[in-house]
Chains A and B, each alone.
Chain A
């Protein structure tokens, strides 16, 4: 149905002309703006990046086709390969720490909240606070807290007799990446907590009652009934962690450590590498084509992860009708 009014021969006397059926323009009107903006500012740039990565820049500003030349450079040229593999490795460590610390912690908190203790609402609300804050702010706050200059961390550890443990973690090559990862865990644990909590809430009470009638204890109900039912959510949490790992962590590292991933590239990740490659830094001049190559590599790495998730994980995690 449209508002288009056409001249039709009227056989019944009616006060006004009749609207006709059949126009489909409204579908285009509804879809066009979203499709347009999304295509121009999200899909096109992605494809353009892939294209740029296949060219090499000349001094006069023109570009020449190199095929996979940039990728070969990135993966095998000594100057590039070291940085690339290091950054990728660091990203994987970051992901690993999130998987073993953030997600189990989120699961624990969600499980406890789902027992509906008193103040559950308040706990939930407050634990989610860090997630709302800008990564930049979180980064600075922790930098100050961990700073030997201020000494808050030192004082607090000292108060419980653990003063000897303290080290300027963010500044040490051996611990910087772990420290940054844990800060990120601190900030984002609210998200897995919420997702898992919601999944736990959606398990019908009757099912839990049935398990209780079957004689299962609270702990057994958790492992044998609840956990299998929320596995799909845990799968989603894992893939979100994986994707976020390549994007969101840039902000944190950039604001705490800067763009070089100090000390000595120990916190350098794909995001900082891409930023540096693209815009240049100190001695290095920016290179659009290598930047696009790094971005494209990230794209493929994410694609691999998502594919593994979709093919290997998600299909096996049956979604139960609840």
Chain B
């Protein structure tokens, strides 16, 4: 696959530099059979450096995960070699099994089958809290 020649697929652009791999694993792109490219530290006028993910297949995009990583990410849908749509993910209201509660006192720490659910409690600062214990999501990944 020659980078930049996606025929039918998705280009996820303006990923904060260093977080492309995290997005790759959170979106479970490793499970795809098609061509997938992760470009790290591409130059970007907007934010200095950025990561880019290119997927040569029409995939269902989880905007929750993208929005959580950074709402400034852009999603470009490519059809027949042309960009047909460009979107920004919004900061999602809830995140289900995207991030995990690390509070050892939380019920999710002892009952493994419970989904880890986080709710956006402060849109301005992008603060998420666990719905079970109200612990604030760890922002270290950002």
B partners with A? no
**Interface on B for A, CB 8 Å cutoff?**
none
- Residues of A participating in the B interface, judged by any CB pair closer than 8 Å: none
